[in-house]
Structure 1
Amino acid sequence: MKRRLFLSLATAISAWGLAPGTSRAADAPVFSFPSIDGGEYETAKWRGKPVLVVNTASLCGFSGQLTEMQALHEAYGPRGLVVLAVPSDDFHQELESAKEVSDYCQMEYGITLPMTDILPVAKGDVHPFYAWVRQQTGFVPKWNFNKVLIGPNGAVLGSWGSYTKPDGPQINALFTPYLDV
């Protein structure tokens, strides 16, 4: 009986396209992020793909992680991973304007991955995505280069602080099962 129940549950999970540990109740609403270069990023276009969202700051000691984020974008982007950089001045380590951030990140790190305009992520009137993550998980970025991984169905798969590298094994293990072969 237990085996049959397990198989029924596994069949239901598979039919819904859910990974173990996720739920439909946690599915993210659609969010819009202003692009640093103008225009918008609509998360609805990324459904079905894992999305790694990282709050960044150009002048932070962790800014070398931008190199790792770009490498993830180049290696796994063609297979379905979206890496989104969200510059923020919540911790007073970001340049003055979106243009300065864009120019600096392109010149210093060769950034071509999606990057938003400068947004609040932890303090004050935070972007709706970060308000939703807080509501769903209690996670609030405590510093720059905090990471949130969203699964293909829109559920939060995990969140990490600054010391966890974007290409770290704990993050890699969660997104790679969802990539195209």
Structure 2
Amino acid sequence: MSLSARLLVLLLSPLLAAVAAASEPDRSALFEHELGRLHSPEMVNLQERFQGQPLLIVNTASHCGYTDQFGGLEQLHQDYRERGLKVVGFPSHDFNQEADDEAETARVCFQNFGVTFDMFRPIGVRGDDAHPIFRELARQAAAPRWNFYKYVVDREGRVVAHFPSRVGPGSADLRGAIESIL
């Protein structure tokens, strides 16, 4: 290797290491939490439940124009759960469309749409009040711009694709991203 090539490697090594570190998922931000199930006293250790699993993470709202996507998300859960996919819903009031009462949120999810995938108590998904899970998702991809923003996360905790609200659960692109991590 020439002297100029060695100098270039020495100069770029710290930058390349920083870029590599920034692209690595922060598994503690994604998984080292205990969160309460929606409208339940049960607490869930996310590391035990989800680490090493392919995930579809969605921020949800009960009173949004996209709320009917719960049905499609449940269908994804049914279609892919035997292959290991975990669909995970996080209600949020960040866009002022979540019910003020957790019981109402649960009714919308569980009774109106028959949701059987994991739903948790409402958390912040944007800005300073964002839960560390959503800060990490934003770091890797983008912060949710609205309700029903979808993140496809591989077994290593890397966001491999993210989709805006208008991309429904039946989208071929979303399903293709899910297939890629199974």
TM-superposed deviation, 1:57? 0.5
TM-superposed deviation, 1:177? 3.7
Q: Which letter maps to 1:149?
A: V
Q: 1:42 to 1:63 in 2, by over 3 A?
A: same
Q: Which of structures 1 and 2 has the bigger CA Rg? A: 2
Q: Indicate the structure with greater helix content.
A: 2
Aligned position for 2:4:
none
Match of 2:154 among 113, 133, 151: 151
Number of equivalent positions: 156
Aligned position for 1:40:
44
Q: Which letter maps to 2:25?
A: A
Q: Distance in 2 between matches of 1:80 and 1:141?
A: 25
Q: Distance in 1 between matches of 2:81 and 2:149?
A: 20
Q: Distance in 2 between matches of 1:150 and 1:107?
A: 28
TM-superposed deviation, 1:44? 4.3
Aligned position for 2:112:
108
Percent of pairs with identical residues: 29
Aligned position for 1:72:
76
Q: Which letter maps to 1:28?
A: R
1:4-83 alignment to 2 at 5 Å? 25-26=24-25, 28-29=27-28, 30-32=31-33, 33-36=35-38, 37-38=40-41, 39-83=43-87
TM-superposed deviation, 1:78? 2.0
Could you list the per-position Cα deviations for residues 91-145 of structure 1 after superposition, in whole angstroms to 9, with x for gaps in the alignment?
11111122221122111101111001011101441111111122233x0111111
> What is the RMSD computed on CA atoms of the aligned residues?
1.9
Q: For the Cα contact (< 8 Å) 1:59–1:94, is it kept in 2? A: yes
Aligned position for 1:121:
125
Moved more, 58-67 or 164-173: 164-173
Q: Which letter maps to 1:92?
A: N
Q: Which letter maps to 1:169?
A: A
Q: Which runs of 5+ in 1 are unaligned?
A: 1-22
Moved over 4 A (4+): none
Q: Which runs of 5+ in 2 are unaligned?
A: 1-21
Could you list the per-position Cα deviations for residues 80-99 of structure 1 after superposition, in whole angstroms to 9, with x for gaps in the alignment?
01101111111111111222
TM-superposed deviation, 1:176? 1.5
Q: 1:160 to 1:43 in 2, by over 3 A?
A: farther
Aligned position for 1:141:
144
Could you list the per-position Cα deviations for residues 148-180 of structure 1 after superposition, in whole angstroms to 9, with x for gaps in the alignment?
11101111111111111123211211221443x
Q: How does the TM-score come out when normalised to structure 2?
A: 0.78
Q: Which letter maps to 1:159?
A: H
Q: 1:167 to 1:133 in 2, by over 3 A?
A: same
1:172 maps onto 2:169 in alignment: no
Q: For the Cα contact (< 8 Å) 1:84–1:114, is it kept in 2? A: yes
Q: For the Cα contact (< 8 Å) 1:146–1:159, is it kept in 2? A: yes
